[in-house]
Structures are given as C-alpha cells and as structure tokens.
Amino acid sequence: EPEVTQTPSHQVTQMGQEVILRCVPISNHLYFYWYRQILGQKVEFLVSFYNNEISEKSEIFDDQFSVERPDGSNFTLKIRSTKLEDSAMYFCASSLQGNYGYTFGSGTRLTVV
Amino acid sequence: GESVGLHLPTLSVQEGDNSIINCAYSNSASDYFIWYKQESGKGPQFIIDIRSNMDKRQGQRVTVLLNKTVKHLSLQIAATQPGDSAVYFCAENGAGANSKLTFGKGITLSVRP
C-alpha cells in the first residue's frame, strides 16, 4: 500500500536554529498538507499546498514557516528560527482529490531545546 | 468559532464488548467526516469515513453514524480487541476541494483483557 514517508523521525534542535522537515507524498497525489500535534493535544492544520502554491494556511503558519516542493517528489516544511513552543509532532499528508482520501505520514517529532 | 469536539476524554471497555465513541461538530457546511486511529508515536490512521449524504456506513467491525440534525458523529467498534487500544479522532472537511481537516481533541480507548 502506498505510504507517505517522513524524515527524520526525530529532530532535536536548539532554539533559534532553522529546521527542515521532509516528506515524500504518495506519487500520484496532487494535494499536500502539514499538520502538527503538540503532545497530548489534537492535530492542528498548518498549511495546504496545491499546484505549487499554498492554498490555505492557519494562524500558526506565520512568517517563520515556509513550504516547498523542490523537485516534484519531496514536500518540505521549513521553520526559520525555532522556538520552544514549536516542539511537536509534525505530520505530512497527501491526497489525490483534495477533499477525500488523505494519507498521513508517521510524523517527525521536533524537540526544540 | 467552528469546532469539532469529543464528549469524553477516555473510554475503558472490556475485550469483546462493543465500543461507541462520540463526536460533535459545529460546521454545518462540512460534507465529509473521517475517523482516525492513532497509536503511540504514529500518524493518524484512517478507519472509516462518511459523506454528508449518508447517515450510516459500515466497515469491518466498525460503523460510523452521522446525524446531521444534531451534528453528531459516532464510531462503533464491534467486539473490541486489545489492538483497538489507541487514541481516536474525528475529523471534518469543509465543502470544496482542498479543504483542510479539522480534528477533534481525541479520546483514548483502553481495552481491558
């Protein structure tokens, strides 16, 4: 069964450093998403991406965040200057149709120290 | 604001019993609902979904019921097994392509042997 792959599985970074979280969506999917989950809380939407541009973003997704699909297979989330409160699980998801059939990756646990 | 929420934070059931997990949503424009299961350290795993033009959908050992009148969604798990122990989330998708998923807070299902 096709999977969404995320790397690394765990990233530890110092406050103020830049991090890039990587995702390989399912190959024929057209819609891409990032969500995050702070420990013990619900999954929160960050951003959606379609046709090489951001479709929608949440209030969480401020100027410190950016997304890219640099080579037609990877989908990355960059946090420019990490804060302690950025510590969370970050999930990538993709879908073929945009409103149906989402597949989530296993997540990257980001720990900011 | 619009939200999706769950009535109970935890649910403990005896192995072999049926489990019912409930969810309330407030966005009457949502037309697609999904139940996800999340095991420790993993991403949300699709269980079952339902569109707003249906009120019931059955899968293997799982049934989702949708009551649009009271904006209520439930997940029924028949003959609950230890492997069903996890956190369960309901999620809704607003109408239209590329709509983000809004997740509920999550309920922990604990299966007693």
Calculate the alpha carbon distances from A67 to A53, A55, A98 in Å: 9, 11, 17
Triad B103, B85, A99: Cα angle to 5°: 30
Q: Is the CB of residue B98 less than 8 Å away from at least one CB of chain A?
A: yes
pLDDT tens for A54-102 read 999 999 999 999 999 988 889 999 999 999 999 999 999 999 887 778 8
| Residue B16 confidence (pLDDT) above 90 | yes
Q: Is the CB of residue B103 less than 8 Å away from at least one CB of chain A?
A: yes
Give residue for tokens 């990756």.
Answer: A105
Q: What is the mean pLDDT of chain A?
A: 94
Contact B44, A104 (CB under 8 A): yes
Please give the torsion angle defined by the CA atoms of residues B87, B46, B16 and B68, in that order, rounded to the nearest 10 degrees.
Answer: 90
pLDDT tens for B25-36 read 878 888 899 999
Residue A49 structure tokens: 């991406």
Query: Which residues in chain A have their CB less than 8 angstroms from residue B41's CB?
Result: 106-107, 109
| Residue B54 confidence (pLDDT) above 90 | yes
CB contact under 8 A, B98 and A31: yes
What is the structure's pLDDT at A10? 97
Euclidean distance between CA atoms A18 and B15, whole angstroms:
46
Query: Which residues in chain B have their CB less than 8 angstroms from residue A97's CB?
Result: 97
Best residue of A43, A90, A100 to probe chain B, by most B CBs closer than 10 Å: A43
In this complex, which of B44, B91, B99 lies closest to A99 when CB atoms are compared? Answer: B99
- Residue of chain A minimizing CA distance to B48: A101
In this complex, which of B34, B41, B98 lies closest to A48 when CB atoms are compared? Answer: B98
Helix, strand, coil percentages for chain A (3-state, nearest 5): 5, 50, 50
What is the structure's pLDDT at B94? 72
Query: Which residues in chain B have their CB less than 8 angstroms from residue A91's CB?
Result: 43-44
Q: Is the CB of residue B99 less than 8 Å away from at least one CB of chain A?
A: yes
Residue A71 structure tokens: 């080579």
Query: Which residues in chain A have their CB less than 8 angstroms from residue B57's CB?
Result: none
Contact B47, B35 (CB under 8 A): yes
The average pLDDT across B63-90 equals 96
> Which of A22-31, A97-106, B89-98 has maximum average pLDDT?
A22-31
What is the structure's pLDDT at B100? 85
